[in-house]
A and B are shown apart, each in its own frame.
Chain A
Amino acid sequence: MPRRPRRHQRLKSWPITFSPFGRALARMGSVSKPKRHSESIENHTPSSSNGFVKHPLDEKPEGSESSDGEFDGVVQADFAFFDPKPNDFHGVKTLLQTYLDVEEWDLSGFVDLILEQTTVGTVVKVEDDEDEGIFALATALNLSRYREQKCIIQLKDLFLAKASQEKGVADQLRVLLGEQAHNVGLLVSQRVVNLPPQLLPPLYDSLFNEVSWATEDEPTEELRNSFRFKHYVMLSKIYKHKNPEQKRKRSDDSEEAIVYVKPEDEIFHKLSSWSFCFPLRTQQPAPHEMKNYRSMGLIMAVEADKIPTFRQELGSLINES
C-alpha cells in the first residue's frame, strides 16, 4: 500500500502537559526568576458571568538550556480567569485526579459539582489557547448544600477516616462536617506544578470576592445563606521531614520541617483553627533535594474571619519572593 500524502493538518489534541507551552513552563520553574509584577486587576462587576482578569507575564530565565531548539528562553503567557464551564470537564478532572490520593471515589461527580457552580469558582486558562487546558482551579463548595451528593458523602467519610487517629481533632472535624456543615465551605484549589506565583493573590481575591458577592446576588435566600461561610476546610499536600529532631542540631540547616507544595498553605496552616496530617499511600520517587521528606496529606480548618489576614499575608509573601 503506497504511503498517501498527508492531506489533513495534524490535529494537536495533546493533553496540556505535553504541549510546548507546558514544557516551557516546566523548564521555567527550574531556572527562572520573574522580573515583572503582574498588572493591576480590572474591576469586574459582581453580576458579570464571564468577568476575567488578564495577567501578562514576561519571564526571562537567567540560564536557558543549550539543548532547546525552539525555546529561546522567554515565554509570554496571558493568563485569564474564567467561570467554570461544562467544557472544562477533562481539564479540571486531570487537576483533581490525585485530590484524594488513590482512593476510588466519584471524581467525575465532584467535577460536575464544581462546574455547575458558576457563581463561585474560577478556572485559569491561557488566552486563545485552542487546547483549552486548565492551569489552575479554585472554588468553595458548601458542604451542606451538596450533602446528598455521593462524592461529598465519600469525601466526608474519607476525611473522618483519616482523622480517626487524631482524637482531639476528629470531634471538631465531625462537627464541621455534620451539624455545622451549612456554615462550612470546602476550599478546593489545585494547579499545575509550576504556575507563576504572581497569579495566586488575584486568584484567591477573585474567589473570596465571588463568595461575598454571592451572599448578595444569589436568587434565593437559601443560596445566599449557603455562601455565608464561617469556616473553610481544605485538603492539601505537604512534605514533612522524616527526622524532625535532626533539624535542631544544625544551626545553619537549610532544611525546613515542612515543605508546602502550595505556598499559600503555609499561611493557611498558621491561621488554622486546627489541622492534622496523615501519610499518603502513594509515595512518588522524590527528587534529590526532597529525599529526606515524605509526602503527607494535610487537612485543616480556617475561620472565615481570618481570610482578610490571609489575603494580606499572601500578597506580601508573593511580593517578596
Chain B
Amino acid sequence: MATRLKFENSCEVGVFSKLTNAYCLVAIGGSENFYSAFEAELSDVIPVIRTSIGGTRIVGRLCIGNKNGLLLPHTTTDQELQHLKNSLPDQVRVQRIEEKLSALGNCIACNDHVALTHTDLDKETEEVVADVLGVEVFRQTVAGNILVGSYCAFSNKGGLVHPHTSVEDLDELSTLLQVPLVAGTVNRGSEVIAAGMTVNDWTAFCGADTTATELSVIENVFKLREAKPSAIVDEMRKSLFDS
C-alpha cells in the first residue's frame, strides 16, 4: 500500500528517506509524524534507521542501496559510517566510495538485480556498484536526463519514470530492467520521481501532494495492492521448517 506523507511541509519524501527491501534510512530533524509513518509500516519487518549523511538531511539523494549493500559518498563522516554499519543487518555491506559525483542517489537507480547509472560515472565506481550491490550495471539516460537516479524509481516489481519518456525508451528500459515500467508523475505533476517518492517491493511512500490518480498508477505499477511483507517471511519459514 502507498502512504502519503510530508517532511516538514516538503512533499519530497524521496529526498529525506531511502527505502529498500532490507532496511530504511530516514533523515534526522523532521517531526515525529514522519518517523511514525515509516515505523508504522515497517518496524516489524525491517529496521528503520535515523541518520544524516555528511551532516545533511538529504540522505535519500546521497546514498544508494538495495538488500545486498549500501553505498555512501565520500562526504559521509566516520561516525555516520560506523552508526550505519552498527544499525544495518549483517548481510548488508556498507561502503563509502570516492566518486566525484557524490550525490549517488541522483546518479544511480537500482533494485536488487539491476542498476542504471549516470553516463559519466567512474569505471571504478561502476565496478564497486556491481560488486557491493550485486547488480548488473547499465549506463543509461531517462528521457534525455543523465540523472537517472532522480527521474526514475523502480523496485523488483515495477518502475515509474519521467513523464516525457518516449515509448521506445520505455520499451528499451523495460527490457534492461526486466520489470514493467510506466511514465508518470508524483506530487501533483512533479517530474522528479525519485525525489517525490520512495518504494520497495511491498510498500511506497509518496509526498502528500500526490493526487489519487498518481497514487493509483503507483500502486498498480509497483504491484502494491497484493504485496505483503509476510510473503517474504512465509517463504523463509517454509525453507526453515520441515513439514
Q: Which residues of A contact B (CB under 8 A)?
A: 1, 3-4, 6-11, 13, 89-90, 97, 102-105, 107-108
Complex Cα distance, B10 from A3, in Å, reads: 36
B134 CB → nearest A CB, Å: 18
Closest to B138 in A: A1
Q: How far is the CB of B166 from chain A (nearest CB, A)?
A: 7
Q: Which residue of A lies closest to B208 (CB)?
A: A108
- Determine which residue in B9, B31, B138, B190 has the highest number of CB atoms from chain A within 10 A of its CB, and name it: B9
The complex places the Cα of A169 from the Cα of B208 at a distance, in Å, of 35
Q: Which of B10, B119, B139, B145 contacts A97 (CB 8 A)?
A: B10
User: Are A90 and B188 touching (Cβ within 8 A)?
Assistant: yes
Contact present for A104 and B31 (CB under 8 Å)? yes
* B212 → chain A closest CB, angstroms: 14
A107: contacting residue among B9, B31, B138, B176, CB under 8 A: B9
| Distance (whole angstroms) from the CB of A253 to the closest CB of chain B | 36
Q: Which residues of B contact A (CB under 8 A)?
A: 6, 8-11, 31, 33, 119, 138-141, 143-145, 164, 166, 176, 188-191, 208-209
Interface of A is mostly: loop
Known: A97-B9, A97-B10. A6 touches B141 (CB 8 A): yes
Question: Which residue of chain A is the closest to B119 with respect to CB atoms?
Answer: A3
CB pair B9 A11 closer than 8 Å: no
- When the two chains form their complex, are residues B144 and A10 in contact, meaning their CB atoms are under 8 A apart? yes
Q: Least Cβ distance of B12 to chain A in Å?
A: 11
A-B complex: 7 closest residue pairs judged by Cβ atoms: A8-B144, A1-B138, A10-B144, A107-B9, A108-B209, A13-B191, A102-B8
Evaluate contact between B188 and A10: CB separation under 8 angstroms: no
Contacts A1-B138, A1-B139; A104 near B191 (Cβ below 8 A): no
**CA gap between A135 and B8 in the complex, in Å:** 23
Contact B6 A11 (CB under 8 A): no
Q: Is the CB of A89 within 8 A of B188?
A: yes
* Most chain B CB within a 10 A radius of its CB, from A89, A97, A105, A108: A108
B8 — which chain A residues lie within 8 A by C-beta? 102, 104
Q: How far is the CA of A8 from the CA of B168 in the complex (A)?
A: 12
Tell whether, in the assembled complex, residue A90 and residue B190 are in contact, meaning their CB atoms are under 8 Å apart. Answer: yes
13 A/B residue pairs, CB under 8 Å, sorted by A: A1-B140, A3-B139, A4-B141, A10-B145, A11-B144, A11-B164, A90-B189, A97-B9, A97-B10, A103-B9, A104-B31, A104-B33, A108-B188
Q: Are B166 and A8 in contact (CB under 8 A)?
A: yes
Report the minimum CB–CB distance from A281 to chain B (whole Å).
11
**Residue numbers in A under 8 Å from B31 (CB-CB):** 104
Chain A residue, CB-CB nearest to B11: A108
Contacts of A90 in B (CB 8 A): 188-190
A204 CB → nearest B CB, Å: 27
- A11 near B188 with CB under 8 A, answer no
Least CB distance from A111 to B in Å reads 10
Q: How far is the CA of A312 from the CA of B88 in the complex (A)?
A: 64
CA A230 – CA B158 in complex, angstroms? 57
B9 neighbours in A (Cβ, 8 Å):
97, 102-105, 107
CB distance from B207 to the nearest CB of A (A): 10
A236 to chain B, nearest CB (A): 19
Q: What are the residues of chain B within 8 A of A6 when measuring CB–CB?
A: 141, 144
A105 and B31 CA atoms in complex are apart in Å by 12
Please give me the residue from chain B that is nearest to A103 by CB atom: B9
* A10 contact set on B, CB distance < 8 A: 144-145
Counting chain B CB atoms within 10 Å of each CB, the highest count among A13, A89, A97 belongs to A13
Q: In chain A, what residue has the closest Cβ to B187?
A: A90
Q: How far is B191's CA from A97's CA once the two chains are assembled, in angstroms?
A: 19
Output the nearest chain A residue to B191 by Cβ-Cβ distance.
A13
List of A residues within 8 angstroms of B190 by Cβ: 90
**Bound Cα distance from A9 to B141, whole angstroms:** 12
Q: Which residue of A lies closest to B31 (CB)?
A: A104
Contact between A8 and B139 (Cβ–Cβ < 8 Å)?
Answer: no
